[in-house]
Structure 1
């Protein structure tokens, strides 16, 4: 398995895995399949070039099997923080350390940013495997956002987690 930063030329394969995640696990993301299905791949390619974010992909035999995004805050009062978003591993690649490798790489990158002291993320409260993964890396739950997402009249809570350096 290879973990590497995604590049502009990865935009189309990223969109495919992004839409898969949004369709199979809609409760795990703030965005929706409907919102992103019509978005051109170039939008993702532009995000991959941003100075304050990194998007990592896990590749197995050249196939993208997992992704995670790390975004550094830029405001004066919050630039000591970064956030993990859009974490997803394909169903067939789960339970093989792909997720842990991706998050570990994001943490490593965040630690390299001068002045970053913490990483935050939100995870669906019922997603025990994801919470276990994040806890194994050192993230701790510090709060809960009730009714964070609403999908088809059903509410989902999110646990707020942070890793402090």
Structure 2
């Protein structure tokens, strides 16, 4: 059970999709440089669009959510496994979203810890990759503290309102 200081972290189900979409839409609005999706296109989609991301190990994908005591979703992280045979040893942390009010309280660290437990249940996974907005130092440091290492930079990866943002490419060997 969630307390004021300790959210519940669990796999999402179909019933959680409206809350996940609300969280994601809010993230697209507050931090557009963190997403490759654009606000207008993504917000027009129904919550069921994200059902393909649901699952539980040993499925190839899952979404973890962090919930406050009142049941509101404070954050989420998505895992997606590569589908092509030659890349099946790799999983991708597709995105992490934390509400602005919940940032700086250890929620990202807790989500990444549980993410690590679950991704290790996927048979044959050897490493996890991600990309993060390079200028978001708080997120970069969070991933580094969780054991991810930077292996590259994708310059001008996304463009928001005429401004380009680089993506740091990171990997964690399991």
Q: Given the two structures, how large is their TM-score scaled by the length of structure 1?
A: 0.96
Is the 1:14–1:64 Cα contact (8 Å) retained in structure 2?
Answer: yes
Partner residue of 2:67 out of 59, 63, 80: 59
Does the 8 Å contact 1:149/1:155 carry over to 2? yes
Task: Say yes or no: does 1:21 pair with 2:27.
Answer: yes
> Which segments of structure 1 move beyond 6 Å, counting only runs of 4 or more?
none
Structure 2, gaps ≥5 residues long: 1-6
Rounded Cα–Cα distance in structure 1 between residues aligned with 2:10 and 2:99: 17
1:118 alignment partner, one of 118, 123, 127: 127
The Cα shift of 1:46 comes to 4.0
Question: How much is the aligned-residue C-alpha RMSD, in angstroms?
Answer: 1.2
Check whether the contact 1:8–1:44 (CA below 8 A) recurs between aligned residues. Answer: no
Measure the CA separation in 1 of the matches of 2:116 and 2:55. 19
CA distance in 2 between counterparts of 1:83 and 1:46 reads 15
Q: How many residues of Structure 1 are paired with residues of Structure 2 in the alignment?
A: 165
Aligned equivalent of 1:35: 41
Report the TM-score when normalising by structure 2: 0.91
Report the equivalent of 1:137: 146
Q: In structure 2, the residue corresponding to 1:123 is in which secondary structure?
A: strand
Aligned-residue offset at 1:49: 4.3
